[in-house]
Each structure stands twice: as C-alpha cells, then as structure tokens.
Amino acid sequence: MSDMDITDTMEKVAMDIILHAGDARNYALEAVSFARKGDFSAAKDKIQCARNSINDAHIIQTNIIQADARGIKHELSMLFVHAQDTLMTIMSEVTVFEEMVHMYQLILCGGDYVE
C-alpha cells in the first residue's frame, strides 16, 4: 500500500468518526427536544440512536488502536486528532443530554421518573 493510500485511508477513517459522532450529537439534541415536549418515548429512542452512533465511531477508533498495537503504524494527522477530540466531546455531550431528558421527565411528570 502506498503512502497516498494510507493517507487516504486515515482521512476516511477520521471523517467516518466525525460523521458518526456528529450523528450522535444530532440524535441527542433531538432527544432533548422531544423531552421538552413531553414525548419521553421518542426521546429515549433518540438517545439510543445517539448511543448507537457513538458505538459505531468507537468501533472505528478501536480498530485503529488495535492495528497500532499489532505494529501497523499510521501517520498521525490533525484531521485524526480532530476526529478523536470530536468523538470524546460528543460522548460527554450525549451523557449530559441523556441526563437532561431524565430531568425533563422529572419536572414534567411531577417528580415521577419512569425508567
């Protein structure tokens, strides 16, 4: 595999991580919007979609880390660093947004939280 192929592959990997992380953020924001309107079933579905997207990004990240552990080295690029940063940030956001859904449920349901 040429240097150009490896660079192209790492750019695709980074973009895929960013794409899945961005999808997760969008789903989580939709969840909060549904919760604000009192539609907790839809909110929980969107949180699950967000978690699934985070998982997809995490699988890609893990594959790169495992390849590195096996001695397959990749050129570190700013795009890949950005992808890692984006993923970690959005993982935290999804956790916070999930808690916001729970808080909306407590507030709008008079303190009765339903799992």
Torsion over CA: 96, 110, 40, 113 (sign): positive
Domain ranges of the chain: 3-108
Which string of DSSP letters, residue by residue, matches 13-35?
HHHHHHHHHHHHHHHHHHHHHHH
Is 1.20.58.80 the CATH classification of the domain at 3-108?
Answer: yes
Residues 52-66 pLDDT 10s:
999 999 999 998 988
Catalytic residue selected from 20, 58, 74, 82? 82
Residue 70, phi then psi, degrees to nearest 5: -85, 0
Torsion over CA: 59, 61, 67, 68 (sign): negative
Q: Give the mean model confidence (pLDDT) for residues 31-59.
A: 97
Whether 74 is a known active-site residue: answer: no
* Whether the model pTM is above 0.85: yes
